[in-house]
């Protein structure tokens, strides 16, 4: 039996693929920004919050980390509109926004744990030095604790971003027009399912590699103090 | 006018009493050395002076601020009281200039250019102007400690606290740090110094307090206290440190 | 229209069986392949290291959903009309083997170099070194992250619902379509997942803390 691969028809719909890539990157970056923000806030609460607040954050983190993202996504996609309707509002949030919310909240839980580990590694004496200089608790957190903490867990955060970016393919299930859905549309037009998904998979692969390189380079520019340990005199 | 006034200070960690009924005063411009074996409570006493440790009883007044652990009042006090630690505690992610400029900019709201001028001024005082753009990891221990002193000086403190600042340094590097402290004392900065450097205590300080088991066991000016120790504890201590 | 009641919950619980079977199958098959991937990653042969490295890179740098689609459509392209359950298991196995291979590589490398040197000087063969010196120590380190990854496997079996495997996620979607009660259905689904995954996460963390204290 002959297997004939036909990539030609797929390449004819390059426009769809480019739209998909754009949307995937956009969704990944936006939800990562929000997710890391949630992570930073929740990590701070887990370190120095009140008992109640710590408990609430722990519940959030454990719930997200121990249920599939697909369930969380459907909760926001189908559950949230139902909930909003129950409250008497007549709004239908678009799948795009629902996906961003679900992705951010999901990443927020994972990054909380990563950033917390970084914060726990900051020596107490650093904080005392900052207290001795009369800095406020917020200044101490944002200027003294957080930057070295982030630097410490930078590799973990970068891999989390890659996993997260790849994970955005799941939002195709609620019809967000990203890369995976582009493949779905192309295969339904061309009937070349394998070829469509093959090309799109290759693009995800390239994106992952590209982002890894970007993160390595970014570290050199953004974290110069990690690399300058030579020429002591 | 006394710059530090301590009255009946006591502190315990749980059941363990670490400081008991401490009272002393320090005049502006004076430098005081706290001596004692490890565990005698001298570092704890020093940390009580800027509120890093909380006392159980007693009154503390430093640089005109009565000790109040409410956070904004505590910051007002720390505004006027510099502290330097054994582990230099420079902020690793900031250059020397940024380490020094941070608190003046955030706390005193000094402008960026004024903060830089200030950084240059205090770095000149500790003799490290050429390291202004270096990161802490590029400096030797002695240099880091001098930058830490400069960082405190940039806040224009009325009192400086030194907590065993040479103990983590290699012996050949302690000299440069002690020199800076001596110059500072001579310029009339009030300071409290916890140290094991007897030479510094003898040569620089105006007054010495010897702590034993959390109590002031002996106190006086260095000339008399070192030549004629009164208590057996202080005699033993002097014998041990040479 | 059906309402969401005990019968519906029972249907979902029965589908949970398939989530568990699929998870265990993935773990066993993926673990077997992953074991050799890890060994290849740590081998002295440059070629083996490069090949296994590329294998890990490919599966860690593409979405699991795409891997599922490619296996699903790829197999049918070459003429295999396999049940979705088989296609799903194969894709999950590939994916899990790459991740477990990478996790276990880290554990093998965490065993100090001196151990190999000591075993070497006792004239043990490479295989004996691995069997009696390295693996016993590495497996102790490996236990917490391996259990942690098993939780990932359970959660990710939910993606097979997209190609039509009737496990818990698919059953939930079916129930939602029948009852139009997404909140209730998804609440039950997430509770079942949570009840399955959370104890494993706890065990993993306990073991890890114990390991950190011991060392």
Render each residue's pLDDT in chain B as its tens digit; 242 residues: 789 999 999 999 888 899 999 999 999 999 999 999 988 999 999 999 999 999 999 999 999 999 999 989 999 999 999 999 999 999 999 999 999 999 999 999 999 999 999 999 999 999 999 999 999 999 999 999 999 999 999 999 999 999 999 999 998 899 999 999 999 999 999 999 999 999 999 999 999 999 999 999 999 999 999 998 999 999 999 988 76
Distance from CA of C112 to the nearest CA of A (A): 23
Angle, in degrees to the nearest 10, between helices C168-179 and C6-42: 150
Domain positions in chain A are: 8-232
Angle in degrees, CA A154, A155, A156, rounded to 5: 90
Q: How far apart, in whole angstroms, are the C-alpha atoms of residue B5 and residue A181?
A: 73
Two structure tokens written together for C75: 């197999």
- Over B20-87, what HEC string results? EEEEEEEECCCEEEEECCCCCCHHHHHHHCCCCCCCCEEEEEECCEECCCCHHHHHHHHHHEEEECCC
pLDDT, mean over chain C: 92
Q: Answer whether A78's CB lies under 8 Å from C186's CB.
A: yes
Instruction: Suggest the residue from A123, A125, A131, A132 to mutate for an interface test with chain B (most B CBs closer than 10 A).
Output: A132
- Partners of residue B6 on adjacent β-strands: B24, B60
Note the CATH architecture for domain A8-232: Orthogonal Bundle (1.10)
* CA-CA-CA-CA dihedral for C198, C202, C203, C204, to nearest 10: 100
Domain residues for the domain of C52 are: 6-214
- Partners of residue B163 on adjacent β-strands: B194
pLDDT at A172: 95
Residue C36 falls inside a structural domain: yes
Chains B and A touch each other (3 or more Cβ pairs < 8 A): yes
Q: What is the pLDDT of residues C171-198, one digit of tens each?
A: 999 999 899 888 899 999 999 999 999 9
Q: What is the pLDDT of residues A136-181, one digit of tens each?
A: 999 999 999 999 999 999 999 999 999 999 999 999 999 999 999 9
Two structure tokens written together for C198: 């959370």
- We report the CATH number of the domain holding residue C204 as 1.10.3720.10
**What are the C-alpha distances in Å from A130 to residues B54, B61, C211?**
17, 21, 34
Q: Answer whether C156's CB lies under 8 Å from C193's CB.
A: no
pLDDT tens track of chain A, all 233 residues? 566 777 877 778 888 999 999 999 999 999 999 999 999 999 999 999 999 999 999 999 999 999 999 999 999 998 888 788 888 888 888 999 999 999 999 999 999 999 999 999 999 999 999 999 999 999 999 999 999 999 999 999 999 999 999 999 999 999 999 999 999 999 888 888 888 999 999 999 999 999 999 999 998 888 777 766 554 44
Q: How far apart, in whole angstroms, are the C-alpha atoms of residue C158 and residue B30?
A: 73
**pTM across the whole model:** 0.89
Question: 3-class SS at B10?
Answer: strand
How many separate domains does chain C show? Answer: 1
Instruction: Suggest the residue from B96, B106, B118, B164 to mutate for an interface test with chain A (most A CBs closer than 10 A).
Output: B106
Two structure tokens written together for C98: 């790459």
Distance from CA of A191 to the nearest CA of C (A): 11
Residue C1 falls inside a structural domain: no
Two structure tokens written together for B38: 């490890």
pLDDT at C116: 82
Compute the half-sphere exposure of residue C77: CA atoms within 13 Å on the CB side of its CA.
18
Q: Answer whether B34's CB lies under 8 Å from B90's CB.
A: no
How many residues are listed for chain C in this entry? 215
B-chain residues within 8 Å CB-CB of A233?
A: 140
**What are the C-alpha distances in Å from A215 to residues A21, A32, A166, C168?**
19, 14, 16, 37
Q: Answer whether A28's CB lies under 8 Å from A165's CB.
A: yes
Cβ neighbours, 10 Å, residue C12: 21
CB spacing of A133 vs B151 below 8 angstroms: yes
pLDDT at A232: 45
pLDDT at A233: 41
- Of the candidates C66, C151, C182, the beta carbon closest to that of A201 is on C66
pLDDT at C113: 83
Q: How far apart, in whole angstroms, are the C-alpha atoms of residue B122 and residue B112?
A: 15
- Of the candidates A123, A131, A148, the beta carbon closest to that of B93 is on A148
Q: How far apart, in whole angstroms, are the C-alpha atoms of residue B8 and residue B31?
A: 21
Pairs of residues, one from chain A and one from chain C, whose beta carbons lie less than 8 Å apart: 109
Q: How far apart, in whole angstroms, are the C-alpha atoms of residue B180 and residue B183?
A: 5
DSSP state of B163: E
Residue C138 falls inside a structural domain: yes
Q: Answer whether B201's CB lies under 8 Å from B35's CB.
A: yes
Of C20 and B242, which is predicted with more confidence? C20
């Amino acid at each position: 039996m002959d297997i004939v691969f036909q990539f030609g028809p797929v390449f004819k719909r390059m426009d769809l693929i480019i739209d998909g890539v754009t949307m995937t990157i956009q969704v990944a970056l936006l939800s990562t920004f929000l997710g890391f923000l949630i992570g930073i806030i929740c990590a701070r609460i887990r370190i120095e919050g009140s008992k109640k607040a710590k408990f609430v954050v722990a519940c959030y983190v454990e719930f997200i980390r121990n249920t599939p993202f697909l369930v969380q996504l459907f909760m926001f996609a189908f559950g949230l509109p139902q909930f909003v309707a129950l409250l008497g509002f007549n709004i239908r949030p678009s799948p795009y926004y629902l996906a961003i919310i679900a992705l951010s909240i999901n990443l927020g839980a994972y990054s909380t744990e990563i950033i917390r580990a970084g914060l726990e590694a900051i020596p107490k004496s650093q904080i005392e030095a900052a207290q001795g200089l009369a800095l406020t608790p917020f200044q101490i957190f944002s200027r003294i604790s957080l930057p070295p903490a982030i630097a410490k867990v930078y590799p973990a955060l970068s891999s989390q971003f890659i996993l997260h970016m790849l994970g955005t393919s799941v939002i195709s299930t609620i019809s967000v027009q990203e890369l995976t859905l582009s493949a779905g549309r192309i295969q339904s037009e061309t009937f070349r399912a394998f070829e469509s998904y093959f090309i799109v998979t290759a693009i995800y692969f390239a994106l992952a590699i590209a982002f890894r390189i970007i993160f390595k380079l970014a570290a050199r520019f953004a974290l110069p103090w990690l690399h300058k340990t030579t020429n002591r005199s | 006018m006394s710059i530090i006034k301590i009255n009946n200070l006591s502190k315990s960690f749980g059941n363990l009493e670490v400081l008991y009924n401490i009272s002393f005063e320090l005049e502006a411009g004076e430098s005081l050395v706290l001596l004692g074996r490890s565990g005698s409570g001298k570092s704890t006493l020093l940390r009580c002076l800027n509120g890093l440790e909380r006392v159980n009883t007693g009154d503390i007044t430093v640089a005109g601020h009565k000790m109040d652990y409410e956070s904004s009042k505590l910051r007002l006090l720390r505004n006027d009281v510099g502290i330097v630690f054994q582990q230099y505690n420079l902020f690793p992610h900031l250059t020397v200039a940024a380490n020094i400029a941070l608190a003046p900019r955030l706390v005193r709201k000094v402008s960026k250019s004024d903060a830089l001028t200030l950084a240059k001024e205090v770095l000149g005082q500790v003799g490290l102007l050429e390291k202004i753009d270096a990161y802490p990891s590029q400096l030797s221990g002695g240099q880091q400690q001098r930058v830490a002193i400069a960082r405190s000086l940039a806040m224009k403190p009325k009192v400086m606290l030194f907590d065993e600042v040479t103990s983590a340094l290699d012996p050949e590097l302690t000299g440069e740090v002690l020199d800076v402290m001596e110059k500072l004392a001579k310029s009339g900065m009030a300071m409290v110094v916890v140290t094991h450097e007897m030479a510094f205590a003898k040569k620089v300080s105006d007054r010495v307090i010897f702590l034993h088991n959390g109590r002031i066991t002996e106190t006086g000016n260095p000339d008399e206290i070192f030549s004629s120790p009164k208590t057996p504890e202080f005699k033993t201590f002097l014998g041990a440190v040479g | 229209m059906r309402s969401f009641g005990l019968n519906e919950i029972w249907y979902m619980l029965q589908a949970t069986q398939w989530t568990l079977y699929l998870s265990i199958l993935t773990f066993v098959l993926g673990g077997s392949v992953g074991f050799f991937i890890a060994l290849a990653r740590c081998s002295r042969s440059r070629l083996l290291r490069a090949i296994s490295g590329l294998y890990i890179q490919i599966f860690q740098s593409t979405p699991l959903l795409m891997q599922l689609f490619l296996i699903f459509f790829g197999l049918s392209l070459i003429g295999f009309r396999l049940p979705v359950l088989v296609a799903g298991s194969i894709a999950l196995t590939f994916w899990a083997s790459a991740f477990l291979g990478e996790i276990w590589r880290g554990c093998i490398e965490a065993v100090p170099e001196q151990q190999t040197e000591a075993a070497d000087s006792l004239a043990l063969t490479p295989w004996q070194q691995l069997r009696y010196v390295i693996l016993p120590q590495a497996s102790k380190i490996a236990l917490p992250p391996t259990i942690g990854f098993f939780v990932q496997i359970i959660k990710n079996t939910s993606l097979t619902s997209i190609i039509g495997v009737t496990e818990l996620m698919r059953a939930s979607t079916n129930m939602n379509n029948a009852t139009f009660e997404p909140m209730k259905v998804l609440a039950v689904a997430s509770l079942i997942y949570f009840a399955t995954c959370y104890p494993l996460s706890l065990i993993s963390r306990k073991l890890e803390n114990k390991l950190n204290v011991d060392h």
